[in-house]
Amino acid sequence: MADEKPDYRLLTGEDTHEFCVRVSKALADGYILYGSPSATFDPTTNRMLVAQAVVRPDVMRGA
C-alpha cells in the first residue's frame, strides 16, 4: 500500500518555481486542485510561504 496515492495532499513551501513545478506534477499525476491556494509572508525570513491542497478526482465524486 506504500505505492498507493493518498486521497488528499497539502503541498506547502516557499513561493518558488520549484513549488509551482510540484503542484503541476501533482496535476499531471491525476490530482485536482481543492480550494484556493493560501499564502503568507514570513517577515523573519523575508519569504513568501504558500500552500495548495489537491485531491484525487474520485474523492470529489464521493467514492
CA distances for 27 relative to 22, 33, 43, 44, angstroms? 9, 8, 31, 32
Residue 30: all three cell numbers together: 491525476
- Residues 6 or more apart whose Cβ sits within 8 Å of residue 2: none
List the beta bridge partners of residue 51.
12, 38
Task: Tell me what pLDDT residue 60 has.
Answer: 77
The domain segmentation of the chain, as residue ranges, is 8-60
Q: What is the pTM of this model?
A: 0.84
Task: Tell me what pLDDT residue 59 has.
Answer: 82
Residue-level pLDDT, tens digit, the chain, 63 residues? 566 889 999 999 999 999 999 999 999 999 999 999 999 999 999 999 999 999 999 887 765
- Residues 6 or more apart whose Cβ sits within 8 Å of residue 12: 49, 50, 51
